[in-house]
C-alpha cells in the first residue's frame, strides 16, 4: 500500500472513530454509536464468500451510481444484480459491476420483484426516483431483504408510519440515504446539540432548498417506448397513471407527495430536517406548524423548541446548512465540511479540520455492519419516519396556507379534516404497502 | 442533485393551486368554500374535459370532496387511466358513501383495477367489507386473493382474523404468503389491544404453516414479543439455531425485548456460542445499555477468543464504567496490537468522572509500560492534571515526555502556555522539539482568548532563536487575530530573509480580509521584489475569495491593479472582475483595455462583465459605448 493510501486510510479511520466518540471523552451523557473493530467482522483480509453480503441494485441512476461506488469499495460486498426500468441503466450498471469483479455475472432485471425473488440476495440498494422509494422498500422488506434506500423515503405521513412499522415487523435493516448522519462534522454538530453542550435547545434551523417542480402533472402523451428500452408502466409504479412523456423520466422532476404535498420541503428537508431531528434527540416530530411568513416556516416541538424551515438568511456553508441554537451556544454546519461555533471551547480541543467531512462511505459501512450485527443504523426507519413526518406536515401547512397542529400519539392533525386527508394518497393498482 | 433554489416561491405557487378554490380563511368559512370548490370540480368531472384535467380534479376532491362527489368519482373506477386518480379521493373522503362505492365496484371490476379497489378498502379499514373480502380469498386470480388477504389484515377485527386463519390452511401456496401477512397484521393488532394469548395463537399457527421463510421470521418475532417474558426461551432457542436467519432474528428481537431478564439470557449464551456468534451477541447486549450485564462483557473482554475479546473491549468503551478500567488497562498493554489499540480507544471513550479520577490517581505509581498510556489518556479525555504532566516532562524516557507534551497540548490553559512555549524555545531535550511544537500548536488554536494567546507567542518570538521563530510564526498564523497579524507584518519586514519568507507566505494565505492593508503595504514596501509580488497576489486572493460589499471590492481591485508592476497580476485582477461583476469593475476593465499588453484579456473581461450585468438588468450600453471597443452583440442566455 502506498504511503498516500495509508495516510488516507488512517484519516478515514480517524474520522470513522470520531463518529463513535466525538464527545465521549468530554463526558457526554449519551452514548455514541458503536464502531465494531473491522477484524471482528472479518474485514481485515479477504472475505470468505460465505461471509459476504450479496447485494442487488434497484433503480441505479446518477445518485445510485455514487452509492454503488461506495458499496463496491467494501470488501465484504458482492454486487450480483441490477434492476432498472431503463435498459441503458441496466447495461451501464452491469458493466460497472462486471468490470469490478472481472466476470459477467451481474444479472439484469426489468421488474424488481424478480430480483427480490432471488434467495441468494441479502440486501438491496434502492435508488429509484422518489416515487418508488417507499413501495420498493416495503416490498423488499416483505421479501426478506435488508435495504439502503435513497431519500426522500416517503411521499406522505401515512407511508412514513407504515414504513417504520413494516421494518419493525419484518425485522429488516433499513438505512435511509441520509448520509450526513455519518459525516463527522454534522455528527459533531448534532451531538453538541443533543448532549446539552449548547444549553437547553431553543431553535434548530433547516434550509430546505426548493425543487424545480412540486407536481409534474399530466404532460402531453408521446409514443411509448418498447418496454425493454423503458418500461413506462413500471416507471410509474405506484404513481397515478399518466401517458408517457420523456420529460417525466428524470426522477427529480417527477411528481412527489401526490402533487399537492411532499415536494419542495422533502427534497432537501429529508436531509436537513433529519439533522435537526437528530439534534433534538430523534424525538417525535413537531406538534405545531405555522403558515409561512417572512421567508420561513416555524414549527414547534412539544417542549417548545422551534424547528425553523428557512429560505432567507442562507448560511454560507454550502448546501444543506443547519444551525442549532441553545441557551448558551450555537453551531452551524453545512456541506462545505466547515463548522462554525459560538465558542472555540465547544470544539473541546479539536480542530474543525480534524473533525472533517466526506466521504459518504461511512453511511454505507454503517448499513453493512448492521446487516451483520442486526444493530440499528443511523438512518433507521424510525428516525427517517419522524423526520419525514415533520417535512410532510410542513408541506401541508404550506399547501393550506395556515397553521396545522399535529398529534404525535394519534398521528393525526387536530380538528383539521383537510390536513388529515393529505396524510395519505392511494397507490396505483396493483401496488400496495 | 437539485439546484439550490429558493423554495418559498414554490410553496406560494403550490398554495395558490390549493387556494384556487378556497382562499386561506378561518375554519368557519372553510365548509362553504369547500362546497363551492367541490361543485366546480364535479362540473369538470361531468364535462368533456380532457382526462388530464379530470385527474387533477380528482386530486383536489381528495381535499374538498364530500359524499356528494362519490358517485362521480366511482364512475371513474373502471377507467384504466383515471381509476387510481379517483381512488385518491375515494380513499380519504369520510363517510359511508365512499366505502359503499368501493365495495360495490368490486362486483364488476377485475384484474388490477379490482386489486386497486380492494387495496383502497383495506386502507379505509372498512369492516363492512369483511364478508366480500373473505370470499375473494378464494378468487382464481392470485393477485386479487392476495390483495383481499392483506386488506383483511388491515381491517384486523375478529371476523377478518377468523377468515384469514381459516384460509391459511387451504389457499394455494401463491396466495398463502399474503394470507400470512394478513394474519401477522391481525396478530399485531390483537397484541396491541392486550389480547396477547390470541396473538400468540395466531403467530404459532403461522410458524407451523408451509410458507416463505420471511413470513415465518415475522411470525416468530411476533410470537416471542407477544409471549412477554415467557418468550425468552424461544428467543434463546433461536440463538442456538443452526439457521443463520433465525439467529439473526434473535439478535434483532433481543434488542427490542422489554425488561432485564433477556440481558441475563444473552449473557448466559456467551460461553456456549461459537466465537462468531458470541461476538454478535455481545454487540446485541451492548445495544441494551440500561440493562447490559457488564460482568459478562468484562469476562469476555479479558479472556477467550480474540474475536470476542475485541468486540467486548470495544463495547466496554461504550457501555462500561469505572469498574472496567482495570480490565481495559490490562488489555491496552497486551502484546497483541489489535487488542491493545482497541482497548486504548475504549479507555478514551469510557464515560464518567470516576474514570478520570482513577486515571489521575494511578499516574504516580504507574509501571513503565502503562505510564505513557495513562498520560495519553489524560490528554485524550481532557483531564485537568497539569502538575502530573509537568512531572512527566522531566522523565528520562522520551516516550513518556512526548506523551506528556501531547497531553499538555490537549489540556493546558492559557496560564500554562509558557510551559509549552519554553519546551519549544529552550527545551532540555532537543529531540522533543517537533512534538513540543505540535503540542503548542494544539494548545494555541483552542485557546478561547486568541489575542492573549497571540501575545504570549509574540513575546516568545522576540527571545527565540531564528530557527524557532518560523515555527512560532506558523502557529501564530493558525491562531489568527489582530495581534498575530501585526506580528507577522513586522516579521515580513524584518532583516532576516527566512522570516521574510515565512511571514509573507503566511500573510498571503490569510483567511480573512483583515490582512488586506498589510498585504497592500507589503506589495510596495517588502524588502524583496519576490515578496512584494507574493503579497500582491495574496491581496488579490482576498478580493477574489471573500464576501464584501461591492464598493469595497471595487476599490480593492482598483488598488491592486494600480499597484501591480507586472501584467500577470493585472490579469489576475481582471479574473476577479469577471467573477464579481460590477459597474466599477467594468470601468476598470475598460481602462485596462487601453493598455496594449492587456487589450485581449481586458476586452474579454469587458464582455463577460457586461453580459453578467445585463443578465441582472444593469444597463451597460453607455459604459460600453464609451469604451472604444468594437461593437459587439450581447446574447443573453437564460439559465434553465
Low-confidence ranges of chain B (pLDDT < 50): 1-25, 634-640
| pLDDT at position A210 | 59
Contact by Cβ (8 Å): A80, A55: yes
Q: What is the ipTM of this complex?
A: 0.89
| pLDDT at position A336 | 83
Residues above pLDDT 70, as percent of chain B: 93
Residues of B whose CB is below 8 A from A142: 181, 214
Contact by Cβ (8 Å): B301, B293: no
Classify burial at B162, counting beta carbons within 10 Å of its beta carbon; exposed 0-12, middle 13-18, buried 19 or more. Answer: middle
Per-residue pLDDT tens for B109-162?
999 999 999 999 999 999 999 999 999 999 999 999 999 999 999 999 999 999
Asked if A429 reaches chain B (Cβ–Cβ under 8 Å), the answer is yes
Instruction: Kindly provide the residue ranges of all beta strands, DSSP E only, lying in A216-321, ordered along the sequence.
Output: 288-289, 296-300, 306-310
Count CB neighbours of A238 within 10 A.
21
| pLDDT at position A317 | 83
Mutant choice from A152, A209, A421, A431 vs B, greatest count of B C-beta within 10 A: A421
Q: Rounded to whole angstroms, how far apart are CA atoms A151 and B578? A: 37
**CA A130 from centroid of its chain's CA atoms:** 11
| pLDDT at position A356 | 56
- Of B55, B90, B252, which is closest to A374 when you measure between CB atoms? B252
For chain B positions 186-215, those within 8 Å of chain A (CB to CB) are 188, 212-214
| pLDDT at position B629 | 63
Asked if A40 reaches chain B (Cβ–Cβ under 8 Å), the answer is yes
pLDDT at A160 over 60: yes
pLDDT at A13 over 90: no
Cα–Cα nearest to B118, from B93, B142, B81, B146 = B146
pLDDT at A117 over 70: yes
- Of B120, B249, B410, which is closest to A426 when you measure between CB atoms? B120
Q: Rounded to whole angstroms, how far apart are CA atoms A258 and B276? A: 47
Contact by Cβ (8 Å): A272, A181: no
| pLDDT at position B263 | 98
Grid coordinates in use for B148?
383481499
Residues above pLDDT 70, as percent of chain A: 80
Mutant choice from A118, A159, A170, A171 vs B, greatest count of B C-beta within 10 A: A171
Asked if A348 reaches chain B (Cβ–Cβ under 8 Å), the answer is yes
Cα–Cα nearest to B430, from B460, B458, B375, B467 = B467
- Map grid coordinates 389484515 to a residue: B153
| pLDDT at position A357 | 54
On average, the pLDDT of chain A sits at 85
Q: Rounded to whole angstroms, how far apart are CA atoms B385 and A252? A: 56
Grid coordinates in use for A100?
469490478
Residues of B whose CB is below 8 A from A171: 217-218, 221, 248-249, 252-253
Per-residue pLDDT tens for B464-511?
888 899 999 999 999 999 999 999 999 999 999 999 999 999 999 898
CA distances from A286 to A262, A268, A298, A310, B376 (A): 17, 18, 10, 15, 43
Cα–Cα nearest to B55, from B79, B21, B20 = B79
| pLDDT at position A413 | 98
Total residue length of chain A: 433
Q: Rounded to whole angstroms, how far apart are CA atoms B87 and A238? A: 12
Domain boundaries, chain B: 227-351, 547-640
DSSP-assigned letter for residue B593: T
Domain A10-180's class? alpha beta
| pLDDT at position B248 | 97
Q: Looking at residues A138-163, what average pLDDT do you find?
A: 96
**Where residue A292 falls among pLDDT bands split at 50, 70, 90?**
confident
DSSP-assigned letter for residue B430: G
| pLDDT at position B625 | 78
Q: What residues contact residue B459 under an 8 Å CB cut-off, 6+ apart?
A: none
Topology of domain B227-351, CATH: 1.25.10
CA distance A315 to chain B (A): 12
Asked if B451 reaches chain A (Cβ–Cβ under 8 Å), the answer is no
| pLDDT at position B615 | 85
**Where residue A247 falls among pLDDT bands split at 50, 70, 90?**
confident
Asked if B259 reaches chain A (Cβ–Cβ under 8 Å), the answer is no
Q: Rounded to whole angstroms, how far apart are CA atoms B153 and A166? A: 13
DSSP-assigned letter for residue B594: T
pTM of the model: 0.83
| pLDDT at position A6 | 40
Three-state secondary structure call for residue B412: coil
| pLDDT at position B131 | 98
| pLDDT at position A261 | 37
Amino acid at each position: 500500500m502506498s504511503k498516500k493510501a495509508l495516510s488516507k486510510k488512517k484519516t478515514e479511520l480517524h474520522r470513522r472513530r470520531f463518529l463513535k466518540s466525538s464527545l465521549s471523552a468530554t463526558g457526554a451523557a449519551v452514548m455514541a454509536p458503536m464502531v465494531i473493530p473491522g477484524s471482528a467482522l472479518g474485514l481485515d483480509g479477504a472475505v470468505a464468500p460465505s461471509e459476504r453480503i450479496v447485494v442487488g441494485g434497484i433503480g441505479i441512476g446518477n445518485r445510485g451510481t455514487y452509492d454503488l461506488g461506495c458499496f463496491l469499495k467494501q470488501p465484504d460486498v458482492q454486487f450480483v444484480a441490477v434492476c432498472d426500468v431503463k435498459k441503458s441503466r441496466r447495461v451501464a450498471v452491469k458493466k460497472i459491476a462486471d468490470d469490478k469483479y472481472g466476470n459477467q455475472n451481474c444479472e439484469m432485471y426489468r421488474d424488481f420483484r424478480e430480483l427480490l425473488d432471488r434467495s441468494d440476495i441479502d440486501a438491496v440498494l434502492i435508488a429509484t426516483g422518489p416515487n418508488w422509494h417507499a413501495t420498493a422498500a416495503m416490498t423488499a422488506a416483505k421479501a426478506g431483504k435488508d435495504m439502503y434506500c435513497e431519500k426522500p423515503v416517503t411521499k406522505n405521513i401515512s407511508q412514513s408510519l407504515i414504513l417504520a412499522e413494516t421494518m419493525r415487523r419484518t425485522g429488516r435493516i433499513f438505512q435511509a440515504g441520509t448520509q450526513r448522519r455519518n459525516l463527522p462534522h454534522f455528527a459533531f454538530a448534532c451531538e453538541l446539540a443533543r448532549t446539552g453542550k449548547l444549553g437547553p435547545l431553543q431553535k434548530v434551523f433547516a434550509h430546505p432548498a426548493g425543487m424545480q417542480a412540486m407536481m409534474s402533472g399530466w404532460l402531453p402523451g408521446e409514443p411509448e417506448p418498447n418496454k425493454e428500452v423503458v418500461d413506462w408502466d413500471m416507471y410509474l409504479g405506484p404513481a397515478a397513471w399518466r401517458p408517457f412523456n420523456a420529460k417525466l423520466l428524470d426522477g427529480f422532476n417527477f411528481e412527489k407527495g401526490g402533487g399537492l404535498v411532499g415536494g419542495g420541503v422533502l427534497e432537501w428537508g429529508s436531509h436537513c430536517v433529519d439533522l435537526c431531528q437528530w439534534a433534538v434527540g430523534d424525538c417525535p416530530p413537531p406538534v405545531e406548524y405555522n403558515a409561512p411568513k417572512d421567508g420561513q416556516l416555524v414549527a414547534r416541538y412539544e417542549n417548545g423548541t422551534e424547528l425553523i424551515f428557512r429560505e432567507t438568511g442562507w448560511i454560507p456553508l454550502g448546501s444543506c446548512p443547519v444551525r442549532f441554537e441553545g441557551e448558551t451556544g450555537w453551531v452551524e454546519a453545512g456541506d462545505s465540511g466547515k463548522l462554525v461555533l459560538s465558542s472555540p471551547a465547544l470544539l473541546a480541543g479539536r480542530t474543525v479540520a480534524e473533525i472533517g467531512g466526506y466521504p459518504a462511505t461511512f453511511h454505507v459501512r454503517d448499513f453493512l455492519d448492521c446487516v451483520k450485527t442486526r444493530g440499528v443504523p443511523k438512518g433507521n426507519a424510525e428516525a427517517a419516519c419522524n423526520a419525514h413526518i415533520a417535512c410532510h406536515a410542513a408541506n401541508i401547512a404550506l399547501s393550506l396556507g395556515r397553521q396545522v397542529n399535529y398529534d404525535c400519539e394519534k398521528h393525526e392533525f387536530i380538528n383539521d379534516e383537510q390536513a388529515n386527508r393529505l396524510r395519505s394518497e392511494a397507490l396505483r393498482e396493483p401496488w400496495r404497502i | 442533485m437539485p439546484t439550490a433554489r429558493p423554495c418559498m416561491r414554490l410553496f406560494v405557487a403550490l398554495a395558490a393551486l390549493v387556494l384556487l378554490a378556497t382562499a386561506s380563511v378561518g375554519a368557519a368559512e372553510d365548509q362553504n368554500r369547500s362546497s363551492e370548490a367541490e361543485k366546480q370540480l364535479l362540473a369538470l368531472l361531468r364535462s368533456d374535459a380532457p382526462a388530464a384535467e379530470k385527474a387533477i380534479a380528482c386530486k383536489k376532491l381528495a381535499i374538498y370532496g364530500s359524499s356528494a362527489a362519490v358517485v362521480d368519482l366511482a364512475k371513474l373506477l373502471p377507467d384504466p387511466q383515471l381509476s387510481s386518480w379517483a381512488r385518491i379521493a375515494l380513499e380519504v373522503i369520510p363517510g359511508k358513501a365512499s366505502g359503499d362505492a368501493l365495495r360495490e365496484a368490486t362486483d364488476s371490476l377485475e384484474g388490477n383495477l379490482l386489486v386497486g379497489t380492494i387495496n383502497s378498502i383495506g386502507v379505509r379499514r372498512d369492516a363492512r367489507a369483511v364478508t366480500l373480502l373473505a370470499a375473494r380469498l378464494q378468487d382464481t386470480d392470485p393477485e386479487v386473493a392476495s390483495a383481499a388477504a392483506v386488506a383483511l389484515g388491515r381491517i384486523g377485527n375478529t371476523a377478518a382474523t377468523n377468515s384469514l386463519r381459516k384460509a391459511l390452511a387451504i389457499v394455494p401456496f401463491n396466495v398463502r404468503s399474503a394470507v400470512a401477512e394478513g394474519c401477522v397484521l391481525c396478530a399485531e393488532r390483537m397484541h396491541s389491544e392486550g389480547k396477547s394469548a390470541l396473538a400468540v395463537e395466531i403467530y404459532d399457527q403461522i410458524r407451523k404453516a408451509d410458507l416463505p421463510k420471511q413470513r415465518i421470521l415475522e411470525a416468530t418475532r411476533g410470537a416471542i414479543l407477544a409471549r412477554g417474558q415467557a418468550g425468552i426461551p424461544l428467543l434463546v432457542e433461536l440463538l442456538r439455531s443452526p439457521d443463520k436467519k433465525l439467529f439473526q432474528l434473535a439478535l434483532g428481537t433481543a434488542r427490542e425485548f422489554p425488561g432485564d431478564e433477556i440481558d441475563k439470557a444473552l449473557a448466559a449464551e456467551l460461553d456456549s456460542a461459537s466465537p462468531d456468534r458470541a461476538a454478535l451477541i455481545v454487540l446485541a447486549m451492548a445495544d441494551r445499555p440500561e440493562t447490559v450485564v457488564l460482568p459478562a462483557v468484562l469476562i469476555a473482554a479479558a479472556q477467550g477468543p480474540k474475536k470476542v475479546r475485541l468486540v467486548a473491549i470495544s463495547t466496554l468503551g461504550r457501555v462500561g464504567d469505572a469498574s472496567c478500567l482495570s480490565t481495559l488497562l490490562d488489555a491496552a498493554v497486551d502484546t497483541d496490537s489489535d487488542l491493545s489499540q482497541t482497548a486504548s480507544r475504549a479507555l478514551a471513550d469510557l464515560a464518567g468522572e470516576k474514570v478520570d479520577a482513577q486515571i489521575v490517581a494511578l499516574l504516580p505509581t504507574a509501571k513503565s509500560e502503562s505510564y505513557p498510556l495513562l498520560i495519553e489518556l489524560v490528554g485524550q479525555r481532557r483531564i485537568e492534571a497539569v502538575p502530573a504532566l509537568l512531572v512527566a516532562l522531566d522523565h528520562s524516557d522520551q516516550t513518556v515526555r512526548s506523551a506528556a507534551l501531547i497531553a499538555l497540548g490537549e489540556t493546558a490553559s492559557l496560564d500554562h502556555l509558557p510551559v509549552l512555549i519554553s519546551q519549544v524555545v529552550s527545551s532540555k531535550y532537543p529531540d522533543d522539539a517537533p512534538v513540543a511544537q505540535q503540542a503548542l500548536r494544539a494548545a494555541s488554536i483552542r485557546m478561547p482568548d486568541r489575542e492573549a494567546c497571540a501575545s504570549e507567542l509574540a513575546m516568545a518570538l522576540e527571545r527565540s532563536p531564528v530557527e524557532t521563530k518560523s515555527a512560532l510564526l506558523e502557529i501564530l498564523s493558525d491562531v489568527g487575530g489582530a495581534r498575530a497579524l501585526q506580528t507577522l507584518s513586522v516579521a515580513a519586514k524584518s532583516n532576516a530573509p527566512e522570516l521574510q519568507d515565512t511571514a509573507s507566505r503566511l500573510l498571503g494565505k490569510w483567511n480573512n480580509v483583515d490582512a488586506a492593508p498589510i498585504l497592500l503595504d507589503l506589495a510596495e514596501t517588502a524588502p524583496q521584489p519576490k515578496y512584494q509580488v507574493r503579497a500582491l497576489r495574496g491581496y488579490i486572493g482576498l478580493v477574489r475569495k471573500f464576501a464584501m460589499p461591492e464598493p469595497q471590492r471595487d476599490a480593492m481591485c482598483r488598488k491592486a491593479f494600480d499597484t501591480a508592476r507586472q501584467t500577470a497580476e493585472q490579469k489576475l485582477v481582471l479574473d476577479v472582475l469577471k467573477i464579481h461583476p460590477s459597474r466599477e469593475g467594468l470601468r476598470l476593465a475598460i481602462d485596462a483595455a487601453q493598455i496594449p499588453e492587456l487589450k485581449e484579456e481586458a476586452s474579454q473581461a469587458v464582455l463577460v462583465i457586461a453580459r453578467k450585468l445585463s443578465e441582472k438588468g444593469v444597463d451597460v450600453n453607455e459604459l460600453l459605448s464609451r469604451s472604444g471597443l468594437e461593437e459587439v452583440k450581447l446574447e443573453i442566455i437564460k439559465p434553465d
